[in-house]
Amino acid sequence: MAAGVAAWLPFARAAAIGWMPVANCPMPLAPTEKNKRQDELIILNVSGRRFQTWRTTLERYPDTLLGSTEKEFFFNEDTKEYFFDRDPEVFRCILNFYRTGKLHYPRYECISAYDEELAFYGILPEIIGDCCYEEYKDRKRENAERLMDDNDSENNQEGSMPSLNLRQTMWRAFENPHTSTLALVFYYVTGFFIAVSVITNVVETVPCGTVPGNKELPCGERYAVAFFCLDTACVMIFTVEYLMRLFAAPSRYRFMRSVMSIIDVVAIMPYYIGLVMTNNEDVSGAFVTLRVFRVFRIFKFSRHSQGLRILGYTLKSCASELGFLLFSLTMAIIIFATVMFYAEKGSSASKFTSIPASFWYTIVTMTTLGYGDMVPKTIAGKIFGSICSLSGVLVIALPVPVIVSNFSRIYHQNQRADKRRAQKKARLARIRVAKTGSSSAYLHSKRNGLLNAALELTGSSDDEQHISKSTSLIESQHHHLLHCLEKTTNHEFIDEQLFEQNCMDNSMQNYPSTRSPSLSSNNGGSTSCCSRRNKKTTHLPNSNVPATRLRSMQELSTIHIQCSEQPSLTTSRSSLNMKSDDGLRPNCKTSHLTTAIITIPTPPALTPEGESSPHPTTNISTTCSNIVKVSAL
Amino acid sequence: FRILPCCLSFCSVDSVEDEMEIATVRHRPEALELLEAQSKFTKKELQILYRGFKNECPSGIVNEETFKEIYSQFFPQGDSTTYAHFLFNAFDTDHNGSVSFEDFIMGLSILLRGTVQEKLNWAFNLYDINKDGYITKEEMLDIMKAIYDMMGKCTYPVLKEDAPRQHVETFFQKMDKNKDGVVTIDEFIESCQKVSNDKLI
């Protein structure tokens, strides 16, 4: 159990008071505290480092932990110090805040650890001084992105959520193809058709073979029908896919506004427009232009490729840098085009006919392409031309690293996301192991405890008793809590293997289960998990010797007959012996008499048949009426 | 007690670039002397309790999620969320969705240091889910199912489906003296005191 949670144990134990009114059996005794409760304090200050400051310094900010009366909770009487079990490094920054009024964020500190410390001391992060605020915000944003990635992948990989309707299932299948094989098939089929469509568009324009008439025809016109059929098929698939996505989307309006859906629409619209307008010759020019949009189908691949999505996201996130690049380029182009135009105005047969015509030269020069279709001929033109190409290199080189670093950051984050997913799986496995560890610790100590009780009762030597004394007080209290729960519900905790074995044993009708020393206090109904009936109640006292004997001995010391259980042999015997015991509690009275009634007439050998009755509750009801008669007798 | 809402801005869901400022509520409890007067704990005990409390919840209040998490660490085999939910409602006396340190101390003071009458009162409050002063059979059945859920699957003997219901039948008949279908606080206290099995704490 985690050390921090141990502090909540008194609360959990106290809350068990809710079980008492409905407990069937008496609660076990609480473990006594052998030694007085020690303070868990080590008499130091912030984890050993002593800081000293005036009280008035702290009281400057009365709405924080240190400035208010909340710190009295951390006062240690013996050493007259305030002890905080926190990080002394971060505490240095926090105390400086009180002294100077400025809160700084140290670069080497982890952002979430720092945030936690601030939360503990009741300080708002917004107070961080300007000198450190940028860094803080950047790190926080990175962390938030990382967490969002985590959450997204977590949501995607959650185990089957049972109550998904068709729409939600479809949407999940579309968004994450790895959820089911059908989704995967769909994913690959659409990918294949996108590829087919794109290749068709490309091949359509390739000239293939001559036709009598000496004209080179592109394949599109030669095999017009085949291409048309292919196109139709692809568009039908895309339409169906789009409509299905539209149906499954949780928010249709948002879906229709999203980029991917616009691409989908743009990819299929030309076909339909073409269908509608095939006969109009004058708009066929526009129709041909529309075919260009078919190339947008290639963008549909971005659903299939993570890298493309990252690229798109990078461009989106670098929008401001791109905008700056564009703006500065435009400025430079206009300046240099004007200069070149006026410089070349004098020379004859110059290609620089106008300023817009010089734009082409400027762009080609600034991007260092240098086609050579336009070259300056005058000396002034050549000088300005060289200045133009030199400055072009600078202007383009400036914003590019920002874009590159953004891309690299996002790309690496994606790589890390996969690593984190694997780590998370390992972490969950560790948590599961810890959980089973704690529950098996309880079972283990229970067995030891019973063994010790047996030894005590049989008066054997005391050294074996020390076996289980090594558990700490907290552990013993925790085990006591679990024991109380068992007593309340009259069922016991067992580990998985025993449970499986029980089920298997109970499913075999031929022989009575060896576990039916369910004579103990702790059993509920005698029916098995697999709807067997009462064979289990036949008890064979020779099975599980220590446990059985202990349980029967426990019976002798306490009274615990469950109302709804089928009475079993030993119980009846012991209860007969104890009928005169007036320690009976009201809630057990009924069953006690029930036992007596049922078992008196039947000889032990016939107990199994005698006890076979259709339903436990009817059993009780019939015997309830009998109780009156018997007691009247 | 004073609750300080810090910057209350919303976080945008669409893009991570927006500043993610989450609303945080910090809570500071009353002074130590005041709590000592109001509850039956000594100063030292209050100190120890507060340190544990603050360790798990630095912001000073427990919301239901944290509560369920903490509680589930004590019962690893079963599912304790339902019972934790009922417990949370019993501790959250002013029904504001969060348990402050004061609520926590008040509840613990009754449970650990209160008289039998007070404890039974508290237990009645726990069972009375809708806090109307009566425990109906359905309410008791809900609580019972929550308790049985904590046992988990691997029990011996195997848990039947109707084990909680049978359990409830027995106890409800016992408690409901005038057979009017509900258990009032007096019937509850009377029937529990007869049993007098206060050996837990």
Q: What is the pLDDT of residue A450?
A: 64
Please classify residue A469 by burial: count the beta carbons closer than 10 Å to its beta carbon, then call 0-12 exposed, 13-18 middle and 19+ buried. exposed
- State the helix-helix crossing angle for A569-577 and A545-557, rounded to 10 degrees: 30
Contact between chains at B111 and A15 (C-beta distance less than 8 A): yes
- Closest approach of B108 to chain A, Cα-based (Å): 6
Distance from CA of A53 to the nearest CA of B (A): 22
**Nearest residue, CB atoms, B51 vs list A63, A73, A485:** A73
Instruction: Please report residues of B whose CB lies closer than 8 A to that of A439.
Output: 76-77
Distances (CA, A) of A36 to A5, A164, A469: 21, 55, 17
Q: What residues of A are in contact with residue B4 (Cβ under 8 Å)?
A: 63, 122
Of B19, B144, B156, the CB nearest to A502: B156
Tell me: the pLDDT tens digits for A419-472? 777 777 887 888 788 777 777 777 777 777 666 666 555 544 444 444 444 556
| pLDDT category of residue B18 using cuts at 50, 70 and 90 | very low
What pLDDT score does A337 carry?
A: 94
Of B52, B77, B157, the CB nearest to A523: B157
Higher model confidence: residue B186 or residue A559?
B186
Residues of B in contact with A518 (CB under 8 A): 157
- Is there a contact between B28 and A70 if contact means CB atoms under 8 Å apart? yes
Minimum-distance CB partner of A485 among B52, B111, B150: B150
Q: Do B197 and A499 touch (CB under 8 A)?
A: no
What's the whole-number average pLDDT of chain A?
71
A148 neighbourhood in chain B, CB within 8 Å: 16
User: Which residue in the set A8, A22, A485 is minimally distant from B56, CB to CB?
Assistant: A8
Q: Give me the count of residues in chain B.
A: 201
B30-114: which CATH topology?
Recoverin; domain 1 (1.10.238)
Which of B24, B147, B195 shows the shortest C-beta gap to A19? B147
CA pair distance A242, A374, nearest whole angstrom: 48
Which pLDDT score, from 0 to 100, does residue B5 have? Answer: 36
Nearest-CA distance from B11 to chain A in Å?
A: 11
Please name the residue of chain B whose CA is at the shortest distance from the CA of residue A1: B73
H or E segment at B98?
A: strand B98-100
| Residue contact A17–B197, C-beta within 8 A | no
Is the C-alpha dihedral spanning A40, B68, B83, B162 positive or negative?
negative
Question: A69–B31: do the CB atoms touch at under 8 Å?
Answer: yes
Query: How sure is the predictor about A155, in pLDDT bands with cuts at 50, 70 and 90?
Result: low
CB contact under 8 A, B147 and A529: no
**Residue appearing with tokens 């048949």:** A609
Give the domain B115-200 fold. Recoverin; domain 1 (1.10.238)
pLDDT digits (tens, 9 = 90+) for A562-621: 333 333 333 334 334 434 333 333 333 333 333 333 333 333 333 333 333 333 333 333
pLDDT value of position B132: 86
Smallest CA–CA distance from B151 into chain A, residue? A493
Amino acid letter at A565? E
Write down the pTM of the prediction: 0.46
Q: Do B47 and A499 touch (CB under 8 A)?
A: no
| pLDDT tens digits for range A273-325 | 877 776 666 666 666 777 777 788 888 888 888 778 888 888 888 888 788 88
Cβ contact, residue pair A438, B76, below 8 Å: yes
Backbone phi, then psi, for B199, in 5-degree steps? -105, 10
- Distance, CA of B62 to CA of B66 (rounded, Å): 6
pLDDT at residue A13 is higher than 80: no
Query: Residue A341 pLDDT more than 90?
Result: yes
Residues of B with CB below 8 A from A523's CB?
156-157
Q: Select from B75, B83, B156 the Cβ nearest to the Cβ of A498.
A: B156
Per the CB < 8 A criterion, the answer to whether A481 and B76 are in contact is no
In total, the C-beta contacts within 8 angstroms joining chain A to chain B are: 231
Question: pLDDT tens digit string along A69-89?
Answer: 888 888 888 888 888 888 989
Amino acid in position A507: S
- Show the domains of chain A with their CATH numbers: 41-153 (3.30.710.10), 166-304 (1.20.120.350), 313-431 (1.10.287.70)
What pLDDT does residue A590 have?
Answer: 35
Domain with CATH 1.10.238.10 in chain B: 30-114, 115-200
CB within 8 Å: A529 and B158: yes
- Mean pLDDT over B91-105 rounds to 84
Cβ atoms A311, A317 nearer than 8 A: no
Structural tokens at position A604: 């032990």
* Segment A5-18 mean pLDDT: 69
